[in-house]
Amino acid sequence: MSEGEEERDVIIAKVLRFDPTIDEEPHFETYEVPKYKVGRQTLAKVLEYIFESIDPSLAYYVTCNRALCNGCVAMINGKAGLLCMTETTDEVTIEPAANHRVIKDLMVVPEEEDRVQQQVLKRSGKSKYL
């Protein structure tokens, strides 16, 4: 923040939303998230707030919360990064990781793993009651 600029008390987070089972096209939604007065606010925390307090249909993946699992990789302001380690900016744009199949919103699976698993399910997939 440059001097003289008024301190904002919200973060404006633009998140690319897409549920392939319902939506034809991905679209951005914008959320206002209260900004921490002290401490570090990571994007994992921003998304957690959106999920728990604004829109529980948001899908994203955060687990280890310490840069060990790589599960939370996403495009942050246009660049690949980890949601759990990246501190938010006052305005932030979050999109799903590139080169992955989008399951929903920010939840993606790598193309290769996905292909193998779908094959197993198909191979053994005689279904009952259908």
Partner 1 sequence: MNNKGGYSICTTDVLVIGVEAAGAYAAVKASEDEDVDVIAITKGSDIARAGATVTASHSTFAVECQGLHDLLGAPTDTRDSPEAFFEDMVKEGKYVNDQMLVESLVRECAPRAKEMESWGFQWDKTQFYASPGHTYQREIFGLDTSGPQMCRVMKRILESRPNSQIMGNMLALDLLTSGDEIAGAVALDLLTGELVVFEAQCVIIATGGAQALYPYVSTGREMTGDGHAMAYRAGAEFHDMEYIQFIPGELIWPPGWMVGVQPFVMFDGLYWWYNGLGDRFMRRWDPMRIEDVTRDIRSIGVATEVLEGRASEHGGIYASFAHLPSDVVDNVGRTRRRGWISSSGFDYNPLVEMMKEGTAIELANYCHFWMGGIKINVDGETNIPGLYASGECCGGVHGANRLSGGALTQCIVQGARAGIAASAHAKKTSRPEVDSEQVEACRAWVYRPLEREGGTNPMELRDKVTEFADSHTGPVRDHEMLEEAIAEAERLKKVELPHLYCKTKNPAYNLEWVHAIQTANIVQVMEIVAHSALPVRNSRGAHYRRDYPDTDNDNFIKSVVAKQVEGRCEVRFEPVKITSITPPKGRRPYPG
CB-wise, 33 or 47, nearer to ligand FES?
47
Closest CB 91 distance from partner 1, rounded Å: 18
CB-wise, 4 or 128, nearer to partner 1?
128
Considering only residues 53, 63, 117, 118, which one is a binding residue for ligand FES as defined by CB under 6 A?
63
Instruction: Output the six-digit token pair for 86.
Output: 């990246």
- For the residues of 38-82, what is the DSSP string, one character each? SS--BHHHHHHHIIIII-TT------SSSSSS-TTEEEETTEEEE
CB-wise, 15 or 84, nearer to partner 1?
84
Q: Which of partner 1, ligand FES, none interacts with 82 (beta carbon under 5 to 8 A by kind)?
A: ligand FES
How buried is 45 (Cβ within 10 angstroms: 0-12 exposed, 13-18 middle, 19+ buried)? buried
